[in-house]
């Protein structure tokens, strides 16, 4: 009898695990097939996750192919043992026209492994970018994957970051260029290409408030045609609760 109870409990546990896993897979499929693109994902102090905090809010400003400021909200849809942070970010480049250009991002990140103070996480995101100038209007969707390997103590942490930030498709509506080249073609373009980012992240923690600093180098995926500003930097203040 006891063996049957144990077996039933094990089956129940397995069903719950499979349901959770199915939710994860479905979420990833849905998000990744939207084909969006990302800049940087949520800054997470995994100790805050283990302490049971569910909500993560970050204000940030930085430089990443434009100077920008933004707001991110994340929520742990997993648990302290199997954390899965679903987050959304909205950022705007600096400039006189405030909302003519913007980035919005939805992402998932999880801690893949940890041992003592070491941790390894992965992020998958989709991003929508909108851009307007007198040259053209662009609506871009892309995706990105990144991995961080870090060391987190109670009051500080440091991590190495590797990200592949990919553009997928873009709707191009040309403007002033049409005056000079009437045959220019508007429409949806395959803009599949990307940048690699390699950098460091550091954080200082006071209770559930973290100050993050992230910086690194950006390379075009061919390591020849690199961005005009070949580095990125971000300062953020994050609160979890």
Partner 1 sequence: MKTMKQFFKLSIFIWAILLVFGCSKDDFYEMDEPGLLVPLTVDEDPSLPSISLNGTLLHSEAFGNPEDPMIVVIHGGPGGDYRTLLCSRDLVDDGYYVVFYDQRGSGLSQRHDADDFTVQMYIDDLEAVIDYYRYDENQKVILLTHSWGSMLAAGFVNEYPEAIDGMVLAEPGGLTFDQMEEYLSRSLEVELFNEATNDAIFPDHIFAGRSEHEILDYKQSFWISFETAEGNTIGNPGPYPHWRSGAVAHSASHDYVVEHGFDFQNNLGNYTQKVLFMYSEWNEAYGEDWAEEVAAPFPNKEVEIVLGTGHEMFYFGWDDMYPKVLNYLNEIQ
Contacting residue, 7, 59, 82, 198, with partner 1 by CB under 8 A: 82
Binding to partner 1 by residue 91, rule CB under 8 A?
no
How far is Cα 128 from Cα 86, in angstroms, rounded to an integer?
A: 16
Element (H, E) at 234: strand 231-240
Binding to partner 1 by residue 131, rule CB under 8 A?
yes
Q: Which of these segments, 19-27, 41-49, 155-163, 202-210, binds partner 1 (CB under 8 A)?
A: 19-27
CA–chain centroid gap for 91, Å, is: 12
Query: Please, which residue, 150 or 205, has the CB nearer to partner 1?
Result: 150
> Which residues 164-203 are close enough to bind partner 1 by CB under 8 A?
165-170, 172, 174, 176-177, 179-181, 183-185, 187-195
Which spans in 141-236 are helix H?
Answer: 177-180
Cβ neighbourhood burial of 159 (10 Å; 0-12, 13-18, 19+): buried
Binding to partner 1 by residue 77, rule CB under 8 A?
no
Binding to partner 1 by residue 124, rule CB under 8 A?
yes
Any idea which residue has 């077996």 for tokens?
7
The size of the interface with partner 1 (CB under 8 A), counted in residues, is 75
Q: Please, what's the b/e burial string for 36-72 (b: 16 or more CB within 10 A of its CB; e: otherwise)?
A: bbbbbbbbbbbbbbeeebbebebebebbbbbebebeb
Binding to partner 1 by residue 214, rule CB under 8 A?
no
Binding to partner 1 by residue 39, rule CB under 8 A?
yes
Both tokens of 14, joined, read 């397995």
Of the CA atoms within 13 Å of residue 149, those in its CB half-sphere come to: 2
Contacting residue, 70, 74, 93, 107, with partner 1 by CB under 8 A: 93
C-alpha angle 174/179/182, rounded to 5°? Answer: 75
Q: How far is the CB of 184 from partner 1 (least distance, A)?
A: 6
Contacting residue, 136, 200, 202, 213, with partner 1 by CB under 8 A: 136
Binding to partner 1 by residue 74, rule CB under 8 A?
no
Query: Please, which residue, 49 or 205, has the CB nearer to partner 1?
Result: 49
Q: Which of these segments, 42-50, 51-59, 201-209, 213-221, binds partner 1 (CB under 8 A)?
A: 213-221
Contacting residue, 7, 135, 198, 204, with partner 1 by CB under 8 A: 135
Task: Kindly report the backbone phi and psi dihedral angles of residue 2, in degrees, each rounded to the nearest multiple of 5, phi listed first.
Answer: -65, -40
């Amino acid at each position: 009898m006891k063996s049957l109870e144990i077996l039933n409990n094990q089956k129940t546990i397995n069903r719950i695990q499979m349901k959770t896993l199915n939710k994860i897979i479905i979420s990833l499929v849905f998000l990744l097939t939207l084909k969006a693109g990302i800049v940087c994902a949520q800054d997470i102090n995994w100790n805050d996750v283990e302490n049971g905090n569910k909500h993560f809010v970050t204000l940030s400003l930085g430089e990443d192919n434009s100077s920008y400021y933004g707001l991110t909200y994340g929520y742990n849809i997993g648990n302290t043992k199997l954390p899965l942070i679903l987050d959304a970010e909205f950022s705007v480049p600096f400039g006189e026209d405030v909302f003519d250009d913007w980035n919005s991002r939805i992402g998932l990140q999880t801690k893949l492994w940890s041992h003592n103070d070491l941790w390894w996480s992965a992020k998958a995101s989709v991003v929508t970018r909108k851009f307007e100038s007198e040259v053209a209007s662009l609506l871009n969707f892309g995706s990105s994957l990144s991995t961080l390997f870090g060391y987190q103590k109670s009051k500080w942490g440091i991590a190495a970051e590797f990200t592949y930030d990919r553009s997928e498709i873009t709707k191009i509506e040309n403007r002033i260029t049409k005056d000079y080249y009437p045959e220019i073609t508007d429409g949806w373009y395959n803009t599949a290409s990307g940048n690699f980012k390699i950098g460091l992240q550091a954080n200082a923690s006071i209770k559930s408030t973290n100050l993050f600093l992230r910086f690194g180098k950006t390379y075009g995926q061919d390591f020849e045609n690199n961005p005009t500003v070949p580095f990125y930097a971000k300062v953020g203040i994050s609160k979890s609760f």
